[in-house]
Structure 1
Amino acid sequence: MKYLNAAEVLPEHLLMEIQKHIKGKVLYIPTGDERIAWGEKNGSKSYFEDRNKEIKQQYQDGYSLEQISHNYGLAYDTVRKIIYKK
């Protein structure tokens, strides 16, 4: 991240107003864009949601935790957490 001198990029009245609150410190100004939640951009979130629904359905259909664990290549405890998560 490149630092900018506020005196070079901000109007004088705005710079003076900011200096009333912060003098000589580094200030981060966020972009203002709305943040995208984890996995929404690349589809990971929906993939894991769908997978977890399938796992819960298989458990309801009578598959054992061991069978599901083997089918998905997941640890037994991971499958158990997925099934019992509300």
Structure 2
Amino acid sequence: MKYVNASNILPEKLIREIQKYVQGETIYIPKPETTYRKWGSLSGGRKLLDQRNSNIKSAFNSGTSIQELANEYFLSIDTIKKIVYSKHG
């Protein structure tokens, strides 16, 4: 997280208004929700997990047991159940 001195970027009138609530503290101003990105969307991690989960579902539907999938993918039985019984993907 990068810190910026408010006096370098905000109008003086706005700084005076903010000072009514907080002075000399570090505050975090979040991005608008419209700019949020889902986890892994930039790195490709989400795509890899979606593909893995799809492979797990396919193997389960082809007869591979939950225990075998847990062993093969190094996941807990509960995690495999969540994947194979989810309605997503």
How does the TM-score come out when normalised to structure 2?
0.68
Distance 2:82 2:52 in 1: 13
> 1:52 matched to which residue of 2?
53
User: Which residue type is aligned with residue 24 of structure 1?
Assistant: K
Structure 2: 5+ residue stretches without partners: none
Distance 2:31 2:81 in 1: 40
CA deviation vs aligned residue, 1:13-68 (integer Å, no higher than 9, x gap): xx27x84xx55234765566822221101011111111101000000000000111
Distance 1:66 1:9 in 2: 58
> 1:78 matched to which residue of 2?
79
Matched residues, number = 79
Q: In the TM superposition, what is the alpha-carbon distance from 1:3 to its structure 2 partner?
A: 3.1
Secondary structure at the aligned position of 1:2 is classed as coil
Structure 1: 5+ residue stretches without partners: none
Q: Does 1:24 align with 2:20?
A: yes
Q: What is the RMSD computed on CA atoms of the aligned residues?
A: 2.8
Q: Does 1:63 align with 2:64?
A: yes
Q: Does 1:5 align with 2:4?
A: no
Secondary structure at the aligned position of 1:5 is classed as helix
How does the TM-score come out when normalised to structure 1?
0.70
Q: Which has the larger radius of gyration?
A: 1
Bigger Cα displacement from structure 2, 24-33 vs 59-68: 24-33
Percent identity over paired residues: 29
